Amino acid sequence: MIVNPFRYSAPVGGDDLVGRGAELELLQRTAEEGNNSRLVAPRRFGKTSLLRQLVSEARSDGWEAVYVDFFGVLTLADVAARIERAYRRDLSGVAGRWFDGVRRTLQSVEVGAGPISAGVSLRPGAAALQDRLDLPRRLHERHGRRTLVVFDEFQSVLATQDEVDALIRAEIQHHGDAASYVFAGSHVGMMRELFGDRRRAFYAQARELELPRLDPEAAANFVVRRFTDTSRDPGTALAPLLELADGHPQRTVLLAHGLWELTPAGTAADEATFAEALTQVMTEQLREFEGTWTTLAVGQRRVLTRIAEGVSGLYAGDAPGGRSGSNRTAVRALADRGEVVPERTARSGYRVVDPLLALWLRSGRPQTWPAE
């Protein structure tokens, strides 16, 4: 049985990581130099896939590497527990055995039903977090191993305590040759606050990298190769697929998955095949689009729709909300959420990040697809 080669619902790596060679090389080089990076990308733009590939490459180069996902943390104890679990999962061999011993000396973190660490139970919070933040230095001191630490969804730590970023920086700034860090996040506004505000502890403390859209040639080669390897041909469906996906990584793969499903082995897809695949994909996404829509304020809905429609003059005096400045506020909020990004060639000066959401908006937000 030949399995559909397009994986769209989870992070990928290896040959499935498309068109991110330059970004991967930059992150690797920055870490080798002993510097830190910050990676910002909208949701489903390939950030986690890139980070996991970076971790894999670092291990191949002789580093220890730890990936920590902070999504949903609420307290300092949560942050400390996530870090400890990542070390337990990601360290192996000599480093893993070292950590098995060291973790029993860490201050306890009470989360849910019981402690994560054995040892004396102390008040969870700052001290427990500092213990875990100090692990790269201790590992380097004991075994001479450098550690790449990836903090994904780093903006989530802001929910735990005021100035928690200052607490974290106060600890890791002394790591020197022991560790390099990658701070990654999908909430553009909160990441900007953490690293772009002079009043914050991490101001100018990491090299910025934003993930661009996929190169059209790289995306085309990926789709064609996956079809060819499974005795299929994207045919004339390739052009409309790439045009609609517009370089969005997950949407490119999602559309290719749908097209592949409708293309029998030994045949070529055409524009009619793509239209059928698009109908299936859009039908499956309608509830998600409606969910996004309901989370937006009225002004944000209006502005997002105008951007999707390619309307010019968002800030003109005769535009709805233009004179009052509410459109500027809405654009900023949408950009902070990662729903829109600046686009020089767009009439509005912005584009909707998700091309399928933009299509739904341009089509009048139908409840069924295709729109009647």
Highest mean pLDDT among 198-212, 302-316, 352-366: 352-366
> What does the pLDDT read at residue 313?
74
Examine the domain organization and report whether 226 and 329 are in the same domain. no
CATH of the domain at 359: 1.10.10
Examine the domain organization and report whether 290 and 307 are in the same domain. no
Examine the domain organization and report whether 300 and 263 are in the same domain. no
In a domain, 12, yes or no: no
Domain count, the chain: 3
Q: How confident is the model at residue 323 (pLDDT cuts 50, 70, 90)?
A: low
Examine the domain organization and report whether 257 and 359 are in the same domain. no
Q: How confident is the model at residue 118 (pLDDT cuts 50, 70, 90)?
A: very low
Task: Kindly state the tokens that stand for 42.
Answer: 């909208």
Q: How far apart are the first and last CA of the chain?
A: 38
Q: How confident is the model at residue 99 (pLDDT cuts 50, 70, 90)?
A: very high
In a domain, 13, yes or no: no
Examine the domain organization and report whether 240 and 372 are in the same domain. no
Nearest-angstrom CA–CA distance, 358 and 310: 10
Question: CB neighbours (10 Å) of residue 271?
Answer: 14
Q: What is the pTM of this model?
A: 0.89
In a domain, 75, yes or no: yes
Examine the domain organization and report whether 310 and 194 are in the same domain. no
Nearest-angstrom CA–CA distance, 120 and 122: 6
Q: What is the mean pLDDT of the chain?
A: 91
Of all helices (H) and strands (E), which one includes residue 40? strand 37-40
In a domain, 8, yes or no: no
How many whole angstroms from its chain centre is CA 166? 24
Q: Is it the case that residue 115 has pLDDT exceeding 50?
A: no
DSSP-derived pairing of the beta strands 340-342 and 179-185 = unpaired
Examine the domain organization and report whether 287 and 309 are in the same domain. no
CATH of the domain at 203: 3.40.50.300
Which of these three, 295, 314, 344, is where a domain ends?
295
Residue pair 56/48 in contact by the 8 Å Cβ criterion: no
Nearest-angstrom CA–CA distance, 91 and 120: 24
Q: Is it the case that residue 107 has pLDDT exceeding 50?
A: yes
Q: How confident is the model at residue 291 (pLDDT cuts 50, 70, 90)?
A: very high
Examine the domain organization and report whether 43 and 32 are in the same domain. yes
In a domain, 5, yes or no: no
Helix ranges restricted to H, the chain: 21-32, 47-60, 76-90, 93-102, 126-133, 135-143, 164-172, 188-196, 216-229, 238-245, 249-261, 271-294, 298-308, 326-337, 355-362
In a domain, 9, yes or no: no
Mean pLDDT of 323-337: 87
Q: How confident is the model at residue 353 (pLDDT cuts 50, 70, 90)?
A: very high
| Domain interval for residue 148 | 20-210
Tokens 């859009």 belong to 282
User: Is 139 buried (19+), middle (13-18) or exposed (0-12) by CB count in 10 A?
Assistant: buried
Examine the domain organization and report whether 235 and 88 are in the same domain. no
Examine the domain organization and report whether 205 and 330 are in the same domain. no
**DSSP states along 163-223:** THHHHHHHHHTT-GGGEEEEEEES-HHHHHHHHH-TTSTTTT-SEEEE--PPPHHHHHHHH
In a domain, 220, yes or no: yes
In a domain, 306, yes or no: yes
Examine the domain organization and report whether 329 and 245 are in the same domain. no
Which of these three, 295, 320, 346, is where a domain ends?
295
> What does the pLDDT read at residue 209?
95
User: Is 40 buried (19+), middle (13-18) or exposed (0-12) by CB count in 10 A?
Assistant: buried
Examine the domain organization and report whether 262 and 351 are in the same domain. no
Which of these three, 230, 260, 295, is where a domain ends?
295
Phi, psi for residue 37 in degrees, rounded to 5: -125, 155
Reduce the DSSP state of residue 33 to 3 states and report it. coil
> What does the pLDDT read at residue 317?
55
131-154 tens-digit pLDDT: 999 999 999 999 999 999 999 999
> What does the pLDDT read at residue 275?
98
